[in-house]
Amino acid sequence: MNRYDNRRVLITGAGSGIGQATTLRILAEGGTVVGADISEAGLADTVSKAGADVERLHTVTVDIADEGSVKEGVAEAISILGGLDALVNAAGILRSSHTATTSLESFEQVIRINLVGTFLVIREALPALQEGASAAVVNFSSTSAGFAHPYMAAYAASKGGVQSMTHALAAEYSKGGIRFTSVQPGSISSGMTSGTGKSGQSVGPGLPDDTDYSLLMKLQPMLGEGFASPDSVAGVVAMLASEDGAFITGTEIRIDGGTHA
């Protein structure tokens, strides 16, 4: 299935986790991709995993929290691709802490990267997307945007913002030929959720030493035997940004194995 033949895609967060999995999936379906990430080592790892598809993969180093870096990186990506048909905003960070002891700097860092960074990339990509074919933007929200995830107030706030922004953009550009959707990953094994709690459950990095793990027990999926791989999300993202998602906009899809059923 080559849904992405002659389709030009920019993917942020392409150096690891779901962003990397999405990059490899869209390459496998024939797309030409620019993978963006703050980590050069991460991008190199993605290149090493691209196999025969590597000839259609290009990379740019971008710090999405920095406006100047985003302007330069997105412009470079569009120049390389000769235009833009789809944008996937997978870059983001997760920080866990007691809200009472969370510093303003830490809270603002999460908002800056996850929410403001997503906005900056979209803003710079919009002119090219308006000229693209069946243009689509897939943003990354989270199950934390609508369900209680303790110790993750900043992350939840940032992802709730991304989700609301996605709805607003879908309406604003509904007659401009650009679709906006978001995915809500949950119970997915990636760099963000690499921590391990009691009983071996994966619960995310940096949890407080006195974490009450009983508050996290409901964050376990019903399907499978634990957290799913990033590929579980990559396939859904690939659908949304392709012609198969041509009648989908202004909504989100939850991918959590029934954790929040």
Q: How do the domains of the chain map onto residue ranges?
A: 8-253
Say what the pTM is: 0.91
CA 84 to each of CA 6, 34, 87, 204: distance values in angstroms, whole numbers, following the listed order? 11, 10, 8, 34
Identified catalytic residue from 4, 151, 155, 173:
155
CA 141 to each of CA 40, 56, 64, 226: distance values in angstroms, whole numbers, following the listed order? 25, 28, 16, 21
pLDDT digits (tens, 9 = 90+) for 43-52: 999 999 999 9
**pLDDT at res. 246:** 97
Low-confidence ranges of the chain (pLDDT < 50): 195-204
Is 155 a catalytic site residue? yes
Antiparallel, parallel or unpaired: β 32-37 and 57-61 = parallel
The single-letter code of the amino acid at 167 is: H
Alpha-helical runs (H) found in 115-230: 117-130, 153-172
Pick the CATH number of 8-253 from 3.90.76.10, 3.40.50.720, 3.30.1490.20, 3.40.1390.10: 3.40.50.720
Dihedral over alpha carbons 168, 26, 50, 127 (to 10 degrees) = -50
Averaged pLDDT score across all residues of the chain: 91
CA 143 to each of CA 32, 62, 147, 192, 201: distance values in angstroms, whole numbers, following the listed order? 30, 26, 6, 14, 17
